[in-house]
Structure 1
Amino acid sequence: MRDPLAGLPLSSIRVFEAAARLNSFTRAAEELGMTQAAVSWQIKALETRLGFSLFRRLPREVQPTEQGERLSRAATEAMTLLRRAFAEVTEADQGVLSITTLTTLATQWLAPRLGAFQVANPGLAVRLDTSPTIIDLARSSFDVALRSGDGDWPGVECAPLMPSVFTPLCSPALCERLGLKEPADLVDAPRVGDEKEWAAWFACAGVTTTTNPASRLRADIQGLEVAAAMGGQGVALGSPILFAREIEAGLLVRPFVQTVKLSKGYFIAWPEDRRRSPKIARFRDWLMAEAAADPDIAAEIALTPA
């Protein structure tokens, strides 16, 4: 059986529903933001396609014909259901903020602050996902991403949050046992992490080394490597910003001030076609204010060459 709606544009049904409900092409045009001529043309095209008249044209109004009246009731019911469904979906979407972020950034910096954001935005729930891979925001359901990189990703806009700087971190006991006094002392020390990153740090610290002892541990997550260092397994490269609390509490020692930049920084990113989304704007503004007020970020920016 042929679908009677096949080929009928939804826009024409929407125009018909408004005109039948208001008994006026003019008022329908005002409601829909169209011209009266455009409404009249849409109705005429629909009548031609159906093969019968939908309205009786009177001097000051239009009235649905018997067939038009039957269709108008169904059209009004259908449009009401559609409006309700779209409103529910829109409200649900605006009620949940989905964030994808790096694990260590989430656990060490973002999560301890999210409570303040939720107190300030009680009608907005937060869904937090941690992933080491870069998710395509344009093709996913996530609203924002917190990423480390160069800040140049297709289809998104972004703003810088903090520098991506790394420095040696270790337990107080290991620092004392190794007698760390200068960066060169780390050449033969047990190390955790990627040796290429360590080579970059040595270069920034002005240390020339021909030895390259294998790392005891290498993980995809910065937090795991620093946790191993905290447990005395070696010296790890970690962010002095993200692990500022552990350094202040004496759980970790930062033997040297020298840092290495492994990327242009950490950024907040959002789809460019959703820059005006209220929930994205609220979170973006709040997060950037948090970063601007963080004294540890300010301290590292002051220490890091441009």
Structure 2
Amino acid sequence: LLPRLERFREKYPHISLRIQASLAITSMQQEGADLAIRMGKGDWEGTESHYLFSDQLIVVAAPTYNGGVLPRTPSEIAKSNIIFSMESWKAWCINAGLEREIVPGGLCINDSNLVLEAVRLGKGIALERRSLVQDALSRGELVQLTSFTAPYPWPYWLVSSQGAEQKNEAVLFKAWLDEEVTAWRQQTGAVEEKCARDGKP
């Protein structure tokens, strides 16, 4: 979201934005928030939830990892230097046809930003949400190693506090965010097509 907010500010310079990041689910009314982006089932009490998109888990690496000789098959990926995050490899291993699940070992980091920084430096490969790596893939900073993916269990929602849907600023932000999500989905489709064209398993 953050890299795209400048477009919203250019379009609506009269609207002030206050962004508050939190891993915990807090009361929007107590925080004085009109809107929130959350992952989950979309059933938070006292709010209105608008579905945005469902994410995927994909395997990524820097183009320079392993001297540029990148692992492409599931078995090669399983033998690679994996930087483990909070994401489980279980569903990905099933979809990729691996008999054994890849379990955490070696380097484990509980922050996706730090995981991706290590991956960019060529320290290993990682399984991460597409929404977090899409821009880096488009810039060529990271490479999707295989077309095998796994669904991320928690969709993204735009959540409105009571009465927020009647505020013009919230309505404009919701419409803008829907446009950005549509553009992101189109970009994602282009990357997936390129992955298939490259003949990656």
State TM-score, norm by structure 2.
Answer: 0.82
CA distance in 2, matches of 1:279, 1:195: 35
1:199 Cα deviation after fit: 2.2
Asked which structure has the greater RCO (Cα within 8 Å, sep 6+), the reply is: 2
Amino acid in structure 1 at the alignment position of 2:158: I
List, as ranges, runs of 4+ consecutive aligned residues in structure 1 with deviation greater than 4 Å.
175-179, 297-302
1:215 Cα deviation after fit: 4.1
Q: Is the 8 A contact 1:150 1:263 kept in 2?
A: no
1:288 pairs with one of 172, 178, 182? 178
Q: Report the counterpart of residue 100 of structure 1 in structure 2.
A: none
| CA displacement 1:245-291 (0-9 Å, x = unmatched) | 32132211111112212223211111144321221111111111221
1:182 pairs with one of 50, 56, 73? 73
* Alpha carbons of structure 1 residues 275 and 164: separation in structure 2 relative to 1, 3 Å: same
| CA displacement 1:172-214 (0-9 Å, x = unmatched) | 1225566412112122222122476122221222212166350
Amino acid in structure 1 at the alignment position of 2:96: A
Q: Report the counterpart of residue 227 of structure 1 in structure 2.
A: 117
Q: Which residues of structure 2 form unaligned runs of 5+?
A: 194-201
CA distance in 1, matches of 2:69, 2:192: 29
Q: Is the 8 A contact 2:89 2:103 kept in 1?
A: no
CA distance in 2, matches of 1:287, 1:252: 25
**Secondary structure of residue in 1 paired with 2:64:** helix
Pick the structure with greater CA Rg. Answer: 1
**Secondary structure of residue in 1 paired with 2:8:** helix
Where do 1:189-268 residues align within 5 Å? 189-194=80-85, 197-209=88-100, 212=103, 214-219=105-110, 221-268=111-158
Between the two proteins, the alignment pairs up a number of residues equal to 193
**Secondary structure of residue in 2 paired with 1:200:** helix
The alignment status of 1:114 with 2:10, answered yes or no, reads no
CA RMSD of aligned residues (A): 2.6
**Secondary structure of residue in 2 paired with 1:133:** coil
1:298 Cα deviation after fit: 5.0
